[in-house]
C-alpha cells in the first residue's frame, strides 16, 4: 500500500492539484455569491462582518496548496512525469558544450581570447610604467622595455587573422563541422528510439535520493543523450586546440633567452637585499605574462566566428528539437530548470528548496513508521510511538541522589570476606538512582514525545510555582516589591541568550532544556497571575470580607478564580513561547526532539526533512493553541461578562 502510494505519487499529486483547483474556483464563486447576499445588510465597521466566511479560508488554503504544488514543480511532475528526464538529457547536452560556450561571447560576453589580450596588455602597460629605475641599470631598463614590446608583438601576431596557423584552423573547422552535424541531427528530429532496459528500470522521479532518473527513457531523451556524448568529444577536442603560429616562434625563443639572461644577472650579481628582491620580482612578473602567451591560447577573434555561429545554430536546433518541452519547462518548472552536474541531474530554483507536497508526506510517513528495523523513525528513534519503559528511570529522574546522602548512617563498605552487605542507605541510593527494577509501564516515546515531554514538565513546574507567587505578588507589598525586580531582571533576556549557559550548567539533555523552558514559563505565569490578582474589583474583596471569609479563603475563593482568565491566557502564551524556545534549544544541542531532526536535516541540506519538521512544529503549536482556546472557553465562560 505505502509503496504503491509512493510509486504513484505523480498521479496522486495530479488528482490533488485538480481537487485544489476545483476547491479554489468553487470557493471564490460561492464566497462572491455570499458577499452579494449580505452586502446590503451590513455596514462597514460592524464586527459582525468578520463572522463566518469559512469559504474564504478554503480559498486561501487551496491557493496556498496550489502555489506550493506549482513552485515545488509538483504540478509539473504530476502532469508531465517524463519531462524531467527529457530536461535532464537536454541539460546533458548543455553541460557537454559548456566548455566551448565559455570561450565564446555566446556563453560569457567576451571571447576568452579578448579577455586574455585585454588583461595581458593592461598588465604590460603597468609594468612598462613601473620599471624600478633604482634597481636596474639604464641598459637593463632599455632591455626590459624591449622585452615588453616583444611580448606585445606576440599578442598582435596571435590576433592577426592574416597570419594563419593552418593546423589550428583545420581543427576549428572540424569543431564547426561536428557541431553542425549535431545540429542537423537535432533538426531532423527523432525516429523511434527505444530506451535501454536499464533506463526503464530506473526508480521514478523523486522516489529515491537520486532526484531525477539520468538515463533517457524517451526517444527525444535518447536523441539528446546521444548528441551530448558527441558534443562532449567535440568540446574536448576544442579545448586542445592551440594557436601556435610560426611568426611567434623566433620571438618566443629570443624572449626566453633574454629573460634567462636577466635572471642569471639577478642570481650572480651582488645587489643589496632590497634591490635584489625588487629585481627578482619584476623579472618574474614579466616572465609570467610571457608564459601565458607562450601557451597559444590567444586566437584571432574572427577565426572563432564560425564556432560561435555553429553554437548558435545548435541552440536553435536544440530549441526546435525540444518542441513543446520548452514551453512545459517554462510554464510548469519555474526557475532555471534542471542542471546536470557530474553524475546527476538536479532541480534548480524554487524546487531545490521547496519539496513537493507529496514528497513531504512520503518523508513524513517514512519517519512516522514506528518499525525502526525497516527504515522507520529517525536516527534510531521513532517519531511518536509507545514503548515499555522501566519505572525506575522515572524514579531516578524525579528523586535527586542527595536524598540518599542525607539519610542517617554510612554507606556500607566491603567486609573482610570481600562481600558487600548493602544497608538501608545503600538500598535507598540504588532506588533514587533507578537501579532497582520496579517493573515497566507503557509510555509514549519518540522525537515528538521528547519535545512534548519537555514542554509539559516545564509548563507544569512553571504553573505550579509561578501562579502562587504571582497571586501573592498581586496582593502583598512585600512579595511584589521583593520579587518584581528579580523577575524583571532575567525575564527581558531572550530565552535563547540564556541557552548556552543553562545547557552548560544543567546538561544538554532533558534537564537543561526543561530548566530553560521553566524560566520562560515561570516569568510569564508570575506576571499573568499577578495581573489577574491585582485586577480584582475592590467591592468583591469587601463583599467577601463582609461575608466573613478569612484572608486565606479570599485568596483561594475570590482572588484565584478572578485571576483565572489571566492565568489561562498566560498559559496559552507561555506554551507558545516555550515551544518556540524548545525547538531552537534542541537545534543548539541534544540528540532527540523535533528541533534536533531539523538541525541534522539542515547540515545535510535535506530540504524535505526540514519541511517535515517545520510542518510538525506548526501543527503541534496549532494543536496546543486550539487546546488552550477550548480549555479557556470551557473553564471561564464568564470572561468578558462579569
Query: Could you tell me which stretch among 16-24, 40-48, 490-498, 630-638 binds other proteins (CB under 8 A)?
Result: 630-638
One residue of 134, 548, 603, 634 binding other proteins per CB under 8 A: 548
DSSP structural state of residue 582:
H
Closest approach of Cβ 548 to other proteins, in Å? 4
Span between the terminal Cα atoms of the chain, in Å: 56
389 binds other proteins (CB under 8 A): no
Nearest to 179 by CA among 102, 101, 113, 112: 101
One residue of 88, 117, 558, 583 binding other proteins per CB under 8 A: 558
642 binds other proteins (CB under 8 A): yes
Closest approach of Cβ 559 to other proteins, in Å? 11
549 binds other proteins (CB under 8 A): yes
φ, ψ at 61 (rounded to 5°): -70, -40
469: how many CB neighbours lie within 10 A of its CB? 17
634 binds other proteins (CB under 8 A): no
Q: Which is nearer to other proteins, 415 or 637 (CB)?
A: 637
Q: Which is nearer to other proteins, 582 or 636 (CB)?
A: 636
What does the block give as the cell for 232? 562532449
Helix or strand or coil: residue 504? helix
One residue of 62, 544, 581, 613 binding other proteins per CB under 8 A: 544
Cα–Cα distance, 358 to 2 (Å, whole number): 12
Query: Could you tell me which stretch among 33-41, 244-252, 381-389, 541-549 binds other proteins (CB under 8 A)?
Result: 541-549
One residue of 122, 316, 330, 543 binding other proteins per CB under 8 A: 543
Q: Please write down the HEC assignment for all residues of 87-131.
A: HHHHHHHHHHHHHHHHCCHHHHCCCHHHHHHHHHHHHHHHHHHCC
Q: Which is nearer to other proteins, 208 or 553 (CB)?
A: 553
**Residue count at the site for other proteins (CB under 8 A)?**
23
Residue 253, H or E segment? helix 246-268
537 binds other proteins (CB under 8 A): yes
Query: Could you tell me which stretch among 115-123, 185-193, 293-301, 552-560 binds other proteins (CB under 8 A)?
Result: 552-560
533 binds other proteins (CB under 8 A): no
One residue of 161, 330, 493, 547 binding other proteins per CB under 8 A: 547
379 binds other proteins (CB under 8 A): no
Q: Which is nearer to other proteins, 325 or 554 (CB)?
A: 554
Helix or strand or coil: residue 227? helix
134 binds other proteins (CB under 8 A): no
Helix or strand or coil: residue 604? coil
What does the block give as the cell for 419? 562481600
CA 467 from centre of chain: 40
What does the block give as the cell for 604? 545535510
Closest approach of Cβ 633 to other proteins, in Å? 14
Cα–Cα distance, 592 to 595 (Å, whole number): 8
Cα–Cα distance, 16 to 427 (Å, whole number): 62
542 binds other proteins (CB under 8 A): yes
637 binds other proteins (CB under 8 A): yes
Q: Parallel, antiparallel, or unpaired: how do β-strands 440-445 and 385-390 relate? A: antiparallel
Q: Which residues bind other proteins (CB under 8 A)?
A: 537, 539-540, 542-550, 553, 557-558, 561-562, 564, 636-638, 641-642
Amino acid at each position: 500500500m505505502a509503496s504503491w502510494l509512493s510509486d504513484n505519487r505523480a498521479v496522486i499529486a495530479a488528482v490533488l492539484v485538480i481537487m485544489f483547483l476545483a476547491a479554489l474556483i468553487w470557493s471564490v464563486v460561492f464566497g462572491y455569491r455570499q458577499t452579494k447576499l449580505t452586502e446590503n445588510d451590513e455596514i462597514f465597521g460592524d464586527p459582525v462582518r468578520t463572522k463566518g466566511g469559512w469559504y474564504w479560508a478554503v480559498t486561501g488554503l487551496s491557493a496556498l496548496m496550489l502555489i506550493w504544488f506549482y513552485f515545488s514543480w509538483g504540478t509539473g511532475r504530476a502532469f508531465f512525469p517524463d519531462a524531467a528526464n527529457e530536461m535532464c538529457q537536454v541539460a546533458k547536452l548543455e553541460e557537454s558544450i559548456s566548455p566551448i560556450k565559455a570561450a565564446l561571447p555566446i556563453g560569457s560576453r567576451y571571447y576568452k581570447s579578448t579577455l586574455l589580450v585585454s588583461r595581458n596588455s593592461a598588465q604590460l602597460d603597468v609594468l612598462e610604467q613601473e620599471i624600478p629605475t633604482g634597481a636596474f641599470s639604464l641598459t637593463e631598463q632599455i632591455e626590459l622595455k624591449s622585452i615588453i614590446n616583444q611580448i606585445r608583438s606576440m599578442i598582435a601576431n596571435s590576433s592577426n587573422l592574416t597570419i594563419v596557423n593552418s593546423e589550428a584552423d583545420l581543427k576549428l573547422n572540424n569543431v564547426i563541422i561536428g557541431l553542425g552535424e549535431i545540429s542537423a541531427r537535432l533538426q531532423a528530429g527523432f525516429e523511434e528510439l527505444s530506451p535501454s532496459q536499464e533506463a526503464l528500470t530506473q526508480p521514478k522521479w523523486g522516489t529515491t535520493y537520486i532526484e531525477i532518473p539520468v538515463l533517457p527513457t524517451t526517444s527525444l531523451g535518447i536523441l539528446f543523450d546521444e548528441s551530448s556524448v558527441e558534443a562532449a568529444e567535440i568540446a574536448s577536442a576544442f579545448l586542445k586546440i592551440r594557436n601556435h603560429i610560426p611568426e611567434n616562434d623566433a620571438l618566443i625563443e629570443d624572449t626566453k633567452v633574454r629573460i634567462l639572461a636577466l635572471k642569471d644577472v639577478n642570481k650572480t650579481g651582488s645587489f643589496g637585499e632590497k634591490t635584489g628582491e625588487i629585481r627578482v620580482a619584476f623579472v618574474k612578473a614579466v616572465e609570467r605574462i610571457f608564459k601565458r602567451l607562450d601557451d597559444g591560447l590567444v586566437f584571432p577573434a574572427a577565426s572563432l566566428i564560425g564556432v560561435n555561429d555553429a553554437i548558435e545554430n545548435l541552440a536553435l536546433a536544440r530549441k526546435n528539437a525540444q518542441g513543446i518541452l520548452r514551453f512545459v519547462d517554462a510554464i510548469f518548472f519555474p526557475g532555471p530548470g534542471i542542471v546536470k552536474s557530474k553524475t546527476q541531474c538536479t532541480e534548480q530554483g524554487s524546487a531545490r528548496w521547496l519539496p513537493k507536497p507529496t514528497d513531504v508526506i512520503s518523508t513524513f510517513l517514512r519517519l512516522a513508521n514506528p518499525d525502526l528495523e525497516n527504515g522507520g523513525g529517525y536516527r534510531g528513534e521513532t517519531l511518536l510511538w509507545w514503548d515499555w519503559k522501566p519505572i525506575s528511570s522515572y524514579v531516578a529522574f524525579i528523586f535527586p541522589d542527595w536524598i540518599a546522602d542525607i539519610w542517617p548512617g554510612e554507606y556500607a563498605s566491603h567486609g573482610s570476606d570481600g562481600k558487600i552487605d548493602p544497608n538501608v542507605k545503600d538500598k535507598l541510593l540504588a532506588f533514587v538512582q533507578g537501579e532497582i527494577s520496579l517493573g515497566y509501564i507503557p509510555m509514549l516515546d519518540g522525537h515528538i514525545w521528547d519535545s512534548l515531554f519537555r514542554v509539559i514538565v516545564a509548563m507544569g513546574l512553571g504553573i505550579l510555582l509561578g501562579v502562587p507567587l504571582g497571586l501573592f505578588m498581586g496582593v502583598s507589598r512585600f512579595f511584589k516589591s521583593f520579587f518584581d525586580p528579580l523577575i524583571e531582571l532575567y525575564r527581558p533576556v531572550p530565552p535563547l541568550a540564556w541557552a548556552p549557559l543553562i545547557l552548560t550548567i544543567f546538561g544538554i539533555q532533558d534537564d537543561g532544556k526543561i530548566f530553560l523552558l521553566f524560566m520562560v514559563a515561570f516569568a510569564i505565569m508570575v506576571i499573568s497571575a499577578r495581573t489577574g490578582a491585582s485586577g480584582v474589583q475592590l467591592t468583591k474583596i469587601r463583599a467577601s470580607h463582609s461575608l466573613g471569609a478569612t484572608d486565606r479563603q479570599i485568596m483561594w475563593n475570590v482572588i484565584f478564580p478572578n485571576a483565572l482568565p489571566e492565568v489561562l491566557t498566560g498559559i496559552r502564551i507561555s506554551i507558545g513561547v516555550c515551544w518556540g524556545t524548545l525547538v531552537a534549544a534542541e537545534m543548539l544541542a541534544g540528540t532527540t526532539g523535533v528541533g534536533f531532526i531539523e538541525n541534522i536535516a539542515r547540515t545535510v541540506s535535506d530540504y524535505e526533512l526540514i519541511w517535515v519538521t517545520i510542518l510538525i512544529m506548526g501543527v503541534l503549536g496549532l494543536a496546543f493553541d486550539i487546546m488552550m482556546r477550548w480549555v479557556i472557553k470551557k473553564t471561564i465562560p464568564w470572561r468578558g461578562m462579569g
